[in-house]
Amino acid sequence: MKVELIAYTPEPDIIAAVAAKLTHSKSDIDELLKEDREKLKRLLRIVIKMGHTSVVEHAYFTFAISGVSRALTHQLVRHRIASYSQQSQRYVEQDMEYVTPPSIARNEKIRKKYDEMMKKIWELYNEMKEEVPIEDARYILPNATTSKIIVSMNARSLLNFFELRCCLHAQWEIRKLAWRMLHLVKKVAPTIFEDAGPPCRTRGYCPMEKKDCIWYPK
């Protein structure tokens, strides 16, 4: 899995803070942009804790993601307030590249059968490409097939994404992706994402009431 933050709103913390302050200020926007950065960040923390997270929608982040499975991207695109551009299996011939779940990788017997099945699938896929359109040959490709996708989300959508997908009960691959994305955005917007993550870690409660979870608040 490779995850890169390839673009983002300049000074996302400040833009969100200025948006928040503007709603209760007579000052011109140019004046607000010149205010002390630390004071603006303190205001933003207060606003976010109050739940007024609409102001962070002004901050956008774009990620380049590769080496992930189609199983992951099918989950990812369920987060609707976002923009996606994914590599097409219709126009791009697929090499034999696939993701192996850790549980399979640890089981030598199952791993061998898994790899053998992948080899058979791609042998048939390559044969089918000679007889039928690629868009039809792709029907036999598994969820494990690797994919590439560019994703853009505003900060409010990301906060929701991290709350749901950083949780230990999220599927392992998208959880791994979520934590990597969170580490990247924290570097450029530390105030917005200061308390981002699963609610058990950020707010001390589990909305799923999974008391057997090792992260369940004690």
Q: Which residues are catalytic?
A: 165
Q: Do residues 96 and 118 lie in contact, with contact meaning Cβ atoms separated by under 8 Å? A: yes
On the 0-12 / 13-18 / 19+ scale of CB atoms within 10 A, 112 is exposed
Q: How far apart are CA 9 and CA 12, in angstroms?
A: 5
